[in-house]
Amino acid sequence: MNKLTWVAVSTHEGEYEELFLAHRIVQASLPGTKLALCPRHPKTISKVPDMIYNETLGNMDPYFQMADIVFVGGTFIPLGGHNVLEPVSYKKPTLVGPYTDKIEDLIEACGGIIRVQNGEELGQKLIELFLNASKRQAIADACYASFMKSREGVLESYLDLISPIIERRMSRSSNPGNSAR
């Protein structure tokens, strides 16, 4: 089995205890599994051995690419969550904690995002997914497809909204004597 990696993105103080508990649970069953931690505010965390740290803000691409599974932070504390669309767009199975009030619409649009209540449940779910690559991929593909389907017609909706504005402006520019706005 290749080295398995889970990535915790946009994490905050108050979440690390749960994340480290989950990682200890995973390590007990699957030694060598890696956690890449990408805190929302990188300077706020003390390093723990055997983890990968993103100490910069910005480009998350390398972390999403290396991930087998992604946990989205801001969801183990009453913050409301962060962007779940990034890991979904990389076709990664995505997990969140119980506090997701700011991202419920995105979770609903993605349809297969897994919600866990605490670090122990996160650890068990990670093991389950790590041990079943086809299930991991099926969940990721389903989330991606569900999100894409939920966005069908969005461009047409925007065009319907802005077409009358564009037509009015074009009409005014072709009739320079009409100065009414």
Structural domain range at position 45 = 5-150
Enclosing H/E stretch for 36: strand 34-39
Number of domains in the chain: 2
Bigger pLDDT: 54 or 84?
Answer: 84
CA 76, 101, 94, 59: dihedral to nearest 10 degrees? -90
- Cα separation, 29 vs 50, in Å, equals 16
The partner residues of 154 in beta bridges, in order of sequence, read none
Residues 164 and 140 in one domain: no
Confidence (pTM) = 0.82
User: What letter represents residue 84's amino acid?
Assistant: V
Bigger pLDDT: 22 or 177?
Answer: 22
- Cα separation, 119 vs 115, in Å, equals 11
Residues 124 and 175 in one domain: no
Residues 31 and 113 in one domain: yes
Residues 95 and 144 in one domain: yes
- Cα separation, 66 vs 128, in Å, equals 19
- Cα separation, 79 vs 98, in Å, equals 10
Give the CA angle between residues 109, 146, 120 to the nearest 5°.
Answer: 70
On the CB side of 84, how many CA atoms lie within 13 Å of its CA?
Answer: 30
Residues 97 and 83 in one domain: yes
Residues 50 and 32 in one domain: yes
So what's the pLDDT on residue 1? 47
* Per-residue pLDDT reduced to its tens digit, 1-52: 468 999 999 999 999 999 999 999 999 999 999 999 999 877 666 666 667 7
Q: Read off the tokens for 18.
A: 């749960």
Residues 35 and 91 in one domain: yes
Residues 114 and 172 in one domain: no
* Per-residue pLDDT reduced to its tens digit, 104-147: 999 999 989 999 999 999 999 999 999 999 999 999 999 999 98
Query: Taking a C-beta distance cutoff of 8 angstroms, is the pair 113, 94 a contact?
Result: yes
Residue with tokens 């041990």: 131
Q: Read off the tokens for 120.
A: 């122990």
Residues 174 and 159 in one domain: yes
Residues 129 and 168 in one domain: no
| CATH number, domain with residue 47 | 3.40.50.2000
Q: Read off the tokens for 32.
A: 């060598």
Band of pLDDT at residue 88, cut at 50, 70 and 90 = very high
Residues 121 and 180 in one domain: no
Residues 164 and 112 in one domain: no
